Amino acid sequence: MKIRMIQASLGAALCIAAGITGCAAKHHEEAAAPEAAAPLPSGTVGAQTVSATAVVKAIDQKTRHVTLQRADGSLVKFRAGDNVRNLAQVKVGDVVTVTYYEALAYQVMKAGSAQPGAEIAAGADRAKLGDMPGGAAAQVTTITATIAAIDKAAGTVTLRGPEGGLNTIKVRYPEKLNQVSVGDLVQITYTEALGISVEKPTTK
């Protein structure tokens, strides 16, 4: 789990906020409606998908050693573990594609709406017997921290983690700190996913 990345992104999360929406004026005989409360900050700090392909240059089915050639011509040699199903289906010239996805999302919540904590949910799947090798795995880490202090003059916010540790973070847009309060919760969700597939080369 990339704790440092999550901690560094908490301040950035607080800096992304929607505008304050005011109420439209009503007839002068009616009481003025109260100004609508600004929504608490939430959204995605960053998301990216990286994909790479390589070609099988050599494979030894007995020892399970495989040599792959990257797009730049460099070679990667490794032994496929016993958990790699259907290795016998792989031949020289097959194309291996690896796709990695990660995203960091955040949501600020009012005090009492949730409890500080951390949890991890993970899952995996792999090819059926007889298919080409492949599989996917994903992990979602959710951390809920409490805003322990806000220093508008310094443009910082101090977060108390689930275990009580404090982290003070410099925010990107200090004026957005007007939308949060001490005691509010910041929920950070970090998602990672990895997919691997092996396909026969395309016939030209």
Q: Is residue 27 part of a domain?
A: no
Indicate the number of domains in the chain: 1
Q: Is residue 134 part of a domain?
A: yes
Q: Look at residue 5 in the predicted model and tell me its pLDDT.
A: 42
Q: Is residue 26 part of a domain?
A: no
Residue scoring higher pLDDT (168 or 36): 168
Q: Look at residue 84 in the predicted model and tell me its pLDDT.
A: 86
**pLDDT tens digits along 70-100:** 999 999 999 988 888 889 999 999 999 999 9
Q: Is residue 29 part of a domain?
A: no
Q: Is residue 111 part of a domain?
A: yes
Tokens representing 128 are 């059926």
Other Cβ atoms closer than 10 A to 175 = 11
Tokens representing 117 are 């904590």
Q: Is residue 126 part of a domain?
A: yes
Q: Is residue 8 part of a domain?
A: yes
Q: Is residue 28 part of a domain?
A: no
100 lies in which domain range? 3-18+37-199
- pTM: predicted TM-score of the whole model, two decimal places: 0.67
- The DSSP element (H or E) to which 14 belongs, if any, is helix 3-14
Query: Is residue 17 scored above 60 in pLDDT?
Result: no
- What SS3 string covers 151-204? ECCCCEEEEECCCCCEEEEECCCHHHHHHCCCCCEEEEEEEEEEEEEEECCCCC
